[in-house]
């Protein structure tokens, strides 16, 4: 399965599926269909008759239950789904991805071939040392790799093909779903819960084997907009109101100890990620993140107080704050459905890894699906350094992920007997 999963990933990685922010249509880029339609056709070739890609670039497929009618589990096993996203991050180009495959990795630093200034050092990326002797996949140094989330896509596809070819493995109804636009926060924007039709789900969108995720940040977005007055700078005295300066003063007052650069683990952050505009109008967009949902209210108060401090310095400027609700910590729901995490924990052990819970300092499609009523924790893929030219993937870990998916499907049958 390692070979199969790797071959699938290398094919998928070469297809440009980069999504785009601030686009009001789904998918945000037409090119995501290129991979989605290919996946639907491949699923059909496995014998999955209902596999299709819809008009919004969502792929749905059903691996039918093969539980015998005389089995005690018949009729008692919940439908489950495995989900990954086809798009890649807008942060780094996804055009002309040229993966580098390193067999039997020896633990040394890896110089990327197309840009020798990009080096994967074991000092900066110590998890490489956990993969000595494995097959490692990197970029050539000019693009991202797309392991986020084409590794998860390849693993689900490999598991689906294996289940269809091995009817001796007894399982309930298993859904496959691939989504667009996860990287721009819209992965479930047009998802059909009727088509999905499951009680529990798992995203396959994590890191190294053993790392299981049952909680994410709770997340809001925030936008502060300043309105000024523009005029020729040669005649600006007592007339010009510079909105760009207003925004600069606001950003300067943010608590540095709450920045992504200074936080880890369960620590919250306020992240100004986009500043745009000019003299007449400028704005800054924020990511507000806290594992405690009520902490988002505290962050709103921090921004309001900063505005109160900056306003007297720029009395003729108008400053507005807008809060956008995004997603909530999945643990608030997942903890009330222990079967979904118990199954993935046991499946990981059976796959030969030592499981441990790791909080996601971000969000997944699972965050939103959980809030929509489908508990959806996250499984490892074997990828690292997502959204960057230093992204890499452990192909041996991909096999662990495939086995975990298959084991989960079997465990639900065992629990129902």
102 falls in which pLDDT band (50, 70, 90)?
Answer: very high
Q: Do domains 2-215+329-416 and 218-326 have the same CATH topology?
A: no
Instruction: Tell me the pLDDT tens digit for each residue of 32-66.
Output: 999 999 999 999 999 999 999 999 999 999 999 99
Q: Is the peptide bond before 27 cis (omega within 30 degrees of 0)?
A: yes
Instruction: Tell me the pLDDT tens digit for each residue of 120-131.
Output: 999 999 999 999
Residues 6+ positions from 186 with CB-CB distance below 8 Å? 26, 28, 180
Mean pLDDT across the stretch 165-171? 97
What's the CATH code, domain 218-326? 3.30.70.360
Is residue 203 within 8 A of residue 344, CB to CB? The reply is no
Mean pLDDT across the stretch 194-219? 95
Mean pLDDT of the residues in the chain: 96
Domain assignments of the chain as residue spans, ordered by start: 2-215+329-416, 218-326
Residue 83 has pLDDT above 90, yes or no: yes
pLDDT score of 114: 95
What's the CATH code, domain 2-215+329-416? 3.40.630.10
185 falls in which pLDDT band (50, 70, 90)?
Answer: confident
Mean pLDDT across the stretch 351-361? 94
Mean pLDDT across the stretch 377-401? 96
What is the 3 state secondary structure string of 310-359? HHHHCCCCEEEEEEEEEECCCHHHHCCCHHHHHHHHHHHHHCCCCCEECC
Q: What token pair was written down for 251?
A: 């950003």
Residue 340 has pLDDT above 90, yes or no: yes
Enzyme catalytic residues? 87, 182
Distance CA 159, CA 156 (A): 5
Report the percentage of the chain scoring pLDDT > 70.
Answer: 100
Residue 326 has pLDDT above 90, yes or no: no
Instruction: Tell me the pLDDT tens digit for each residue of 271-299.
Output: 999 999 999 999 999 999 999 999 999 99
Residue 371 has pLDDT above 90, yes or no: no
Is residue 46 within 8 A of residue 62, CB to CB? The reply is no
Distance CA 10, CA 12 (A): 6
């Amino acid at each position: 399965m390692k070979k199969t999963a790797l071959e699938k990933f290398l094919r998928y990685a070469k297809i440009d599926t980069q999504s785009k922010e601030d686009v009001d249509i789904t998918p945000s880029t037409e090119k995501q269909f290129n991979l989605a339609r290919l996946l639907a056709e491949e699923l059909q070739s496995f014998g999955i008759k209902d596999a299709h890609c819809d008009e919004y670039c969502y792929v749905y497929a059903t691996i039918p239950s093969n539980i015998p009618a005389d089995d005690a589990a018949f009729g008692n096993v919940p439908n489950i789904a495995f989900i990954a996203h086809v798009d890649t991050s807008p942060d780094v180009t996804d055009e002309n991805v040229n993966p580098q495959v390193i067999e039997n990795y020896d633990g040394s630093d890896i110089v990327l071939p197309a840009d020798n200034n990009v080096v994967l050092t074991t000092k900066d990326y110590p998890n490489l040392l956990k993969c000595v002797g494995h097959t490692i996949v990197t970029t050539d140094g000019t693009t991202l790799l797309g392991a986020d989330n084409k590794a998860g896509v390849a693993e689900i596809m490999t598991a689906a093909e294996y289940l269809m070819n091995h009817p001796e493995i007894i399982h309930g109804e298993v859904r496959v779903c691939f989504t667009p636009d996860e990287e721009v926060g819209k992965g479930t924007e047009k998802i059909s819960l009727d088509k999905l039709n499951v009680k529990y789900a798992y995203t396959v969108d994590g890191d190294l084997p053993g790392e299981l995720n049952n909680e994410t940040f709770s997340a809001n977005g925030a936008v502060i907009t300043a309105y000024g007055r523009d005029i020729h700078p040669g005649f600006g005295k007592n007339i010009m109101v510079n909105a760009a300066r207003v925004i600069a003063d606001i950003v300067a007052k943010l608590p540095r100890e709450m920045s992504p650069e200074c936080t880890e683990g369960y620590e919250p952050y306020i992240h100004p990620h986009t500043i745009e505009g000019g003299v007449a109008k400028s704005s800054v967009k924020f990511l507000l993140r806290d594992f405690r949902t009520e902490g988002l209210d505290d962050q709103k108060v921090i921004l309001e107080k900063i505005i109160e401090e900056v306003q007297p310095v720029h009395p003729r400027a108008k400053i507005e704050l807008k809060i956008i609700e995004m997603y909530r910590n999945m643990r608030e729901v997942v903890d009330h459905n222990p079967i979904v995490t118990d199954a993935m924990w046991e499946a990981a052990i059976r796959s030969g890894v030592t499981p441990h819970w790791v909080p996601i300092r971000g969000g997944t499609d699972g965050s939103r699906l959980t809030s929509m009523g489908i508990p959806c924790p996250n499984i490892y893929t074997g990828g690292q350094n997502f959204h960057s030219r230093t992204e890499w993937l452990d192909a041996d870990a991909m096999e662990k992920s495939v086995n975990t998916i298959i084991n989960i499907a079997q465990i639900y049958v065992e629990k129902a007997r």
